[in-house]
Amino acid sequence: MKFKTLSSLGLFSILVIIIAIATSYLYAFWQVSNEVRSDSEQLLNYVEHKLSVAGNSLEKLNEVNFSSCDNKGQEKLEEFLFDHLGAGLFLIRHKDSAPWTYCSVVGNILVSQRDRNFNNVIYLDDNRKKVISVMGYDWQGIEKRDLFVALEADDRINVVRIALEDSYSFFEDQCTDCRHVEVRLSNDDLILELGEVKSGVLTELRVYSHEFPLYVDAVVGRKRVRGEMFNSLMLTIPISLVFSLLCLYIVNLVKTLHRSLGYQLKVAVKRGELIAYYQPIIDAQTGYVVGAEALVRWIKPDGSVEPPGRFIQVLEESDLINDVTLQLLKNIPIDLAEVLEQSPQFRCSINLVPQHLESPCFAKQLLELKGKGFPCDQLAIEITERLPLKNLSQAKMNVEKMKALGICIELDDAGTGYGGASYLQELNIDVMKIDKLFVDTLIISPDRTQVLDANIQMAKSLGMQIIAEGVETSFQSEALVEKGVRFQQGYLFAKPLSTAEFIAFWHESHQAYIQQYANTDMPNLYALKEE
């Protein structure tokens, strides 16, 4: 009897282990498949964005007065290249010049013999003036092959070579032989190939572009699924040996949920652990604090501060961002009551994500706050270019509603993301914030500040005020002042400060200004442009 019991228990354990292995394998296959598809979509979005930028730049290349491929012509191409760094390498061929020979910043480039026909090109417009293709060419004695987009004008053909990265963050060094991705045109010409699979393919996934004639092929490799399965077995096998497999599995799921960042954030919001820190905006000529940016910080019960880079993206992509933003807004006149009262021209800015601008709910909430005495005329909202606006017309209407309340509109991360000139043209921006990326060029490559200068000039020509972000050295600050950018923000002046620290910092600045400039009006960054 004892033997039978042990035997039954052994068979049951074996059965549970087999089920656990099968379940782990299926789950690993599902997990890897989802990740491969997600990575493919990410790669496809990257290529689509590069193509969109390149296509827009080609239209502007027609405005360049190009006569011949001499030093002067190459200099014009080089200037255009610096103004459109994200597009690629620009080429021009006059129709009356040598066939298949294009001018670039380094001289003439010759198309390979095998591609001197139109069999492999794909037309991107009904007029058959814009094409995309993969072509080979001679690059300073080296045979290369890349993706090109060409636009035919009346007297010439403008071309841009689109350079794509040969590595991506999701291709870990230790797993290059368990992944394989190909990006191809609709005619099956290979654009980009990454990784290799040596141990067999379980299935293939294909993701098509809805904007351009291209697609991404990716494989689910057996080695990768097997690796994920073994990781899963570390949990399922021990659980399978317990008397109540289902109960312990549910307990494990609950623990996993509680460890997830999304759940922890939800609890933190409910507990009020997400608060605003304020980074001063300084008039570099006088040292006066003209404003501040409210930045969310996660202060845990033990007093430790969670690094913003770990949770900001998760927060922005969740519904929690609405509650958090509204709570930060309501706290601004409480946290900064003394500052707002003594400095009527002071404004505090706060970042908004696309869902705030594309939904009328947020503008309605601001109107309700205004009715309850919220100082909207001392508030600025920052629209970031890091995330795309899907409904620009709706965003424009909501922005106008906010401006009607006296709110100032700022463009954050200018020149680094999706918005570009469309945001400046459509959203009635008051202030442009120059990104740290361009401010850093003052030190990294001081002779290559064309993009920084262009942003400054654009803002001035549009009647906007300018704030330079990420100022970390006195050299940067002085150079910006010389360029007419006196309002600055960065660690040179102060890091993001708690409410008490910021008020103390403001007091020091306020008193110093009064002592030195007693009979002078306070600097006003947020003097709105005339309508």
From its phi and psi, is residue 474 left (phi > 0), alpha (psi between -120 and 50) or beta?
alpha
Q: HSE on the CB side for 163, CA within 13 Å?
A: 8
Q: Is 216 helix (H, G, I), strand (E, B) or coil?
A: strand
Supply the DSSP symbol for 522: P
Q: Please provide the size of the chain in residues.
A: 531
524: its two tokens: 């006003």
Q: In 3D, which of 217, 211, 224, 221 has the Cα closest to residue 192?
A: 217
325: its two tokens: 């933003």
pLDDT recorded at residue 135: 86
Which amino acid type is present at position 222? R
**Of residues 438 and 249, more confidently modeled:** 438
pLDDT recorded at residue 514: 82
What is the C-alpha separation between 314 and 320, in angstroms, rounded? 9
Residues 151/207, Cβ–Cβ less than 8 Å: no
pLDDT tens string 157-196:
888 888 777 666 555 556 667 778 889 999 888 888 887 7
pLDDT recorded at residue 489: 95
pLDDT tens string 356-415:
888 888 889 999 999 999 999 999 999 877 777 888 888 888 889 999 999 999 988 776
- Domain residues of the chain, as ranges? 1-258, 261-309+318-516
Q: In 3D, which of 65, 210, 87, 62 has the Cα closest to residue 148?
A: 87
Q: At what angle do helices 308-316 and 261-271 cross, to 10 degrees?
A: 90
Residues 150/159, Cβ–Cβ less than 8 Å: yes
pLDDT tens string 482-492:
999 999 999 99
Which amino acid type is present at position 77? L
Annotate 369-406 with DSSP letters as a single string. Answer: HHHTT--GGGEEEEEESSS--S-HHHHHHHHHHHHHTT
Stretch among 89-93, 211-215, 289-293, 498-502 having the lowest mean pLDDT: 89-93
pLDDT recorded at residue 353: 83
Supply the DSSP symbol for 492: T
What is the C-alpha separation between 254 and 241, in angstroms, rounded? 19
Annotate 171-226 with DSSP letters as a single string. Answer: S-GGGTTEEEEEEEETT--EEEEEEEE-S-EEEEEEEE-SSSSEEEEEEEEHHHHH
Q: Give me Rg for the CA atoms of the chain.
A: 29
Share of the chain above pLDDT 90, in %: 22
**Of residues 378 and 220, more confidently modeled:** 378
Q: Quick count: other Cβ atoms within 10 Å of Cβ 386?
A: 16
2 pLDDT band, cuts 50/70/90, is very low
Residues 54/88, Cβ–Cβ less than 8 Å: yes
To the nearest whole number, what is the mean pLDDT of the chain? 82
Max alpha carbon distance in the chain (Å)?
102
What is the C-alpha separation between 66 and 72, in angstroms, rounded? 9
pLDDT tens string 61-81:
888 888 788 888 888 888 888
Residues 27/235, Cβ–Cβ less than 8 Å: no
Share of the chain above pLDDT 70, in %: 85
Strands 178-185 and 214-221 come out as antiparallel
Is 60 exceeded by the pLDDT of residue 251? no
Q: How confident is the model over 494-515, as a mean pLDDT?
A: 91
Is 70 exceeded by the pLDDT of residue 418? no
Q: In 3D, which of 164, 163, 193 has the Cα closest to residue 179?
A: 193
pLDDT tens string 441-481:
888 888 888 888 888 998 888 888 999 999 999 999 999 99
Q: Is 439 helix (H, G, I), strand (E, B) or coil?
A: helix
Is 90 exceeded by the pLDDT of residue 222? no
Is 70 exceeded by the pLDDT of residue 527? no
Is 50 exceeded by the pLDDT of residue 59? yes
pLDDT recorded at residue 71: 83
H or E segment and range at residue 123: strand 122-123
pLDDT tens string 267-283:
888 888 899 999 999 99
pLDDT recorded at residue 530: 40
Stretch among 238-252, 299-313, 391-405, 431-445 having the lowest mean pLDDT: 238-252
Q: In what order do the strands lie in the sheet with 190-197?
A: 190-197, 178-185, 214-221, 201-208
Residues 418/388, Cβ–Cβ less than 8 Å: yes
Instruction: Please give the CATH topology (third level) of the domain spanning 261-309+318-516.
Output: TIM Barrel (3.20.20)
Which amino acid type is present at position 46? Y
What is the C-alpha separation between 195 and 177, in angstroms, rounded? 6
Q: How confident is the model over 286-293, as a mean pLDDT?
A: 92
